[in-house]
Amino acid sequence: MIDMFLYDDDEAAQVQFVGFVGEESRYDLMLVQTNRHFGKTIVLNMQTNKFGIIGTDDLAEEGYTAYILGVNEAEGEELNAFLAEKIQ
């Protein structure tokens, strides 16, 4: 039995499913925007089952997108360029 809940919140969310083909690979992403993560977006790579909470500061960090979404460096750069347009 559960002794104590840490949290159990309902949150309105904007969810966007995006599939596209770049020069490096095909991508299937789910972008979830809520007020919960300080304006950052939850990005799920549906091909690798990896996700990250990504904001503009994270996009500026070299290699972060590739690492967190489970892709190689070239794919990470391509995803970074795409997400820079989506994440404000």
Would strands 14-21 and 26-33 be described as parallel, antiparallel, or unpaired?
Answer: antiparallel
What is the pLDDT confidence band of residue 88, given thresholds at 50, 70 and 90?
confident
Cβ pair 18, 31 in contact under 8 A: yes
Total Cβ atoms within 10 A of residue 40: 17
pLDDT at 26: 97
Rounded to whole angstroms, how far apart are CA atoms 4 and 13? 26
Encode pLDDT of 3-25 as tens digits.
888 888 899 999 999 999 999 99
- The ranges assigned to domains in the chain are 14-18+34-86
Statement: the pTM of the whole predicted model exceeds 0.85: yes
At residue 8, the 3 state secondary structure works out as coil
pLDDT in tens, 30-72: 999 998 888 899 999 999 999 999 999 999 999 999 999 999 9
Cα separation, 72 vs 40, in Å, equals 23
